[in-house]
Chain A
Amino acid sequence: MLTATEDRLLKYIEGRARENVKGKAFYKMTNILEYAFWMPEEKAYEVLKNIMARKNIGNSKNDIINEYIDMLKKGYGSIQEQVDVFGGDKVSSVRDTAERRLEKYEGGTFFDVLRDIYKIPDENIIELTEKYLEFLNSPSFIFRLEKETFHKFLESDLGELDKQFDRFVNL
């Protein structure tokens, strides 16, 4: 059984891995593993050998990624280490930094929050706001722009998550 954190991190790894191979074509199955999980060639061979010895899987990008995710889930490798390979748990890092900075927030508009707390440059504010608003759904006209849904949005959009992570790193 995975803990809630492991479960979340595994989903994060999965999202990241799919993003890493998106729009790319590969000739060798090891290349898929190298790109998706940022692993060295040697390790990719090792993982692939392990898979082949156990079962027959299709050779699509998705088949390989799903299989390795399943292996991580079953304890083949450390979930935390894989997250570290991807540069750490950016979702938690962004959340924590935002939380700390929000303590000093004195009120204002949503754009003040984006500018002052999240350090988003003016030229990116409209685009980001539209993406965030597209992410929020409601059966009627009731939306709450708040940190929980904003962080969920960043979690769902790895490109924006990376950008936000970098903004906080460069403070």
Chain B
Amino acid sequence: MTVSNQELFKYIEKRAKYNVKDKTFFRNTDILKEAFLISDDKAYEILKDIMSRKSIKNTKEAVVDEYLNMLGTGYDSLKEQVELFGGHKLAAIKKEAEFKFRKFNGGTIIDVFKEVYNVEDKDMPFIIMRYMESLTAEEFAFKVNVNTFHKFLEENLDELDKQSKRYGL
């Protein structure tokens, strides 16, 4: 896989697992539908394909992992799968942030959140606390910057979705 394909794959993996987290399913096709946002028909087709090749466990994890495997080996287009998830949100957010930073005249982190990321006042304490909880360091030196913030969004899909909404993407 190329680097950018690897990136797409990781995103798909994260998103698929996130989509089925804390949920229970009765049918294996439901797992696929929920995890990958695919149609009923497609889920059946994939499951038939899996069954004909190997026997896998009946768990969420096993079903999701198997289809991820298939995507990883070219069963279907990674790009299309990402489109099913509403596109590569982080890339879109990065682009929008870059654009908005051009008009930013400096200030505090709170100004950055307000003016560049459109964070509403009422959400400010929560996002600050959560973002800062995500930063660790060996000594008293924490890097609060655009890279670590985007990493934070990448690792927390609910925050990624919220940011995507703030930008109207």
Which A residues fall within an 8 A CB radius of B?
Answer: 102, 105-111, 113, 117, 126, 129-130, 133-147, 150
Contact = CB atoms under 8 A, between A and B. Distances in A.
Contact of B141 (A109, A111, A145): A145
B128 A146 contact: no
A126 B106 contact: no
A102 to B, nearest CB: 6
Interface in B114-167: 116, 125, 128-129, 132-146, 149
Given A140-B104, A143-B144, A109 B135 contact: yes
A111 B149 contact: no
Interface residues of B, number: 29
B109 A105 contact: no
A114 to B, nearest CB: 10
B110 interface: yes
A143 B132 CA distance: 12
Contacts of A135: 108
Contacts of B133: 109, 111
Contacts of A110: 132, 135, 142
A4 B74 CA distance: 67
A110 B142 CA distance: 7
B128 A140 contact: no
A142 B146 CA distance: 7
B107 interface: yes
Cβ-closest 8 pairs across A and B:
A139-B106, A143-B144, A145-B142, A146-B141, A141-B146, A107-B138, A147-B140, A142-B145
A113 B141 CA distance: 10
A1 B109 CA distance: 39
Contacts of A108: 136-137
B129 to A, nearest CB: 7
A102 B128 contact: no
B101 interface: yes
